[in-house]
Amino acid sequence: MAEVIAVDGLAKRFGAVEALRGVSFTVDGPQVVGVLGPNGAGKTTLLEILQGLQRPTAGRVRLFGAPLDPARYPKRRVGVVLQHEFYFDRITVGDYAELFASIYGVTGGRARIIERADLAARQSIAVARLSGGEQQRLFIAAAAVHDPELLFLDEPTSRLDPASKRQIGAFLRKLGERCTVVLTTHDLREADAVCDHALFLVAGEIKAQGARAALIDAVPTAERSGLGMEDAFFHFCAQRIAADGEAA
Amino acid sequence: MRTLWLLARLRFRENIHSPATAVLYLGMPMALLVIVGLVFANGHPFERKTLAVVGELPPATATALARYPDVRLRHAQDREVAFGKLRTRAVHGVLIAPGDDAHTQLWVGPREELFGRGVASVLDGIELKVAEVPRWGYVHFLFPGLITITIMIAGVLGMGYGMVRYRGNQFLKKLSTTPLRRATFIAAQLGARSTLVLGQLALMVAAGVIVFHLPLTVGSALWLAGLSLLGLLTFSGAGFILACAIRNEANVLDVVNVVMMPLVFFSEIFFSVEELPVPLARVAAALPSTQLVRMLRAVVLYGERSPAELATGGLILVAWAFATFAVAVHRFRWHDQERAQ
């Protein structure tokens, strides 16, 4: 395992709003890393800074051992799947795959995307006619066509039904064998099934971070059977979430 | 009744809280009033009669005509251009200075014969002649203006709206995370829009030639296509600039209307900007839309196809294209950076 991401004292402010406060962590790869937190916790802002789309107000970020410079962002080593992916009206699965293979300059990329997304039988139909799960597989396969070392996904399963969530989870686990997958989610059960490592982000602050097993082991209870990420999250974050709820 | 009141109040609030819409609803009527007042300050442009002059008029003729300020003299570079303007009703008559022995000739169209007789009666040694003028002459005059409006819409609205939409649905943000070069993306947009515009032009030209007997040669059609693409480039740059300034897709049409309305009035689409007060005429002449209309009219209607004759207009258009794209590239952003997630 090698260091992929290192963040130190990261802060981001939008006017009077502090989206991130003193965020520090390190991620080694390959593995699947979940950034977990409620809506408005700062997950997307953190991801966008790591993607080079936002500049932090303070703090340092290193990717692959080098300081992050948005002007020289290592786009050929990174893939990104946004929370809401755009596709052209009437674009077919094959054309969508062709477009991203061409953008990343991957010979044979179209076939690779379609094979990984398991959409060989549906390549001539419109992306709009795919199910939510099929669309998401296509978007992920397209973002990973160049075999990136780091893949970011923002809420990849938030709009999917349980069966599709399970499919995408398996897809991400497979990807995580060879690249570092960083995903944001507020679905703690999904995170439990997919992530090797987690960061608990609440109100712009990291409340806990570590390997899945270590986080669960830290839950102080005598009854250990059935414990999961959800228990760990509420153990570390319940106090702050309750405070936010009262303030709201 | 309560629902009606609530819905009306919410819609009204929505309108007045959008700055662009507020400008459109409150500022635009006032701006239109000022523009119309300036344009028609001296009466309707068609009230005055314009004569194209070929060559140097005898001093007595020039002095006699100077007593009638509602008859304007405009110098034409040769007979072909002057008669081209007569055929398209851009001028009401053509005055041709005499050669060694001949009289000054005044050519008018059949509908202007009475005006021609009036002019001849106050000038000495005038030979009045009536020229054949095509039935669709003024439609021919309008044709380059309509092409210019089409190109303005394609560039400013088509490109501006497209970019705001792509930014709104995060397509630009997605592309910014890939190795795609900005120039490749912009060139692809221009390529797609150019193909669409060439299709529109082909349709308009076909209708112009078949229905309105537009006198178009293969050479002038090629010039028309080339100049139109140059115009599209310029207005696309303006569209990109608007896309940088507009954050909300719903405001695009309002802002584009505010930009395009004055351009349509001040761009010689319906009448010559020389009919405007002098300062306004100078501003109008510097607009890319005015230059595009003039060049299209020159190549399509007056047979001017030498690059030297079109150089000034072409340079002004190229300068606008450079300026708009320079600002657009400087201001272009793939996505909104200052919005908390």
Classify the C-alpha dihedral B190-B191-B196-B199 as positive or negative. Answer: positive
Instruction: Please list, in sequence order, all residues whose beta carbon lies within 8 angstroms of the beta carbon of residue B89, skipping any fewer than 6 positions away.
Output: B109, B133, B137, B138, B141
pLDDT in tens, A206-240: 999 999 989 988 888 777 777 888 888 888 887 66
- Containing B4, the helix (H) or strand (E) segment is helix B2-16
| Pairwise CB contact (< 8 Å): A55 & B338 | no
Looking at domain B45-130, which CATH architecture does it have?
A: 3-Layer(aba) Sandwich (3.40)
Average pLDDT over residues A74-99: 93
Domain boundaries, chain B: 45-130, 137-340
Suggest the residue from A49, A82, A145 to mutate for an interface test with chain B (most B CBs closer than 10 A): A82
Among B290, B235, B296, CA closest to B266: B290
Do the Cβ atoms of B265 and B297 come closer than 8 Å? no
Other CB atoms within a 10 A radius of the CB of residue A188 amount to 21
Residue with tokens 């050519």: B107
| Pairwise CB contact (< 8 Å): A14 & B338 | yes
Concatenated DSSP letters of B164-197 = HHHHHTTHHHHHHTSS--HHHHHHHHHHHHHHHH
In this predicted structure, what is the pLDDT of residue A127? 95
Looking at chain A, which residue has its C-alpha nearest residue B184? A103
| Pairwise CB contact (< 8 Å): B177 & A54 | no
Looking at chain B, which residue has its C-alpha nearest residue A99? B180
A193: left (phi over 0), alpha (psi -120 to 50) or beta: alpha
Structure tokens belonging to residue B298 = 């020159």
In this predicted structure, what is the pLDDT of residue B19? 65
Share above pLDDT 90 across residues of chain B, in percent, rounded to a whole number: 35
Inform me whether the pLDDT recorded for A201 exceeds 50.
Answer: yes
Inform me whether the pLDDT recorded for B268 exceeds 90.
Answer: no
**What's the predicted TM-score (pTM) here?**
0.80
ipTM: 0.89
| Pairwise CB contact (< 8 Å): A75 & B177 | yes
Give how far Cα B61 sits from Cα of A92, B42, B112, B128, B208, Å.
73, 25, 20, 14, 39
In this predicted structure, what is the pLDDT of residue B341? 45
Q: What is the C-alpha to C-alpha distance for residues A73 and B178, in angstroms, rounded to an integer?
A: 10
Output DSSP code: residue B18: S
pLDDT in tens, B286-303: 999 999 999 999 888 887
Among A165, A116, B169, CA closest to A100: A116
Looking at chain B, which residue has its C-alpha nearest residue A152? B177
Do the Cβ atoms of B119 and B268 come closer than 8 Å? no
The three-state secondary structure class of B28 is: helix
Beta carbon pairs, A and B, within 8 Å: 50
| Pairwise CB contact (< 8 Å): B340 & A84 | no
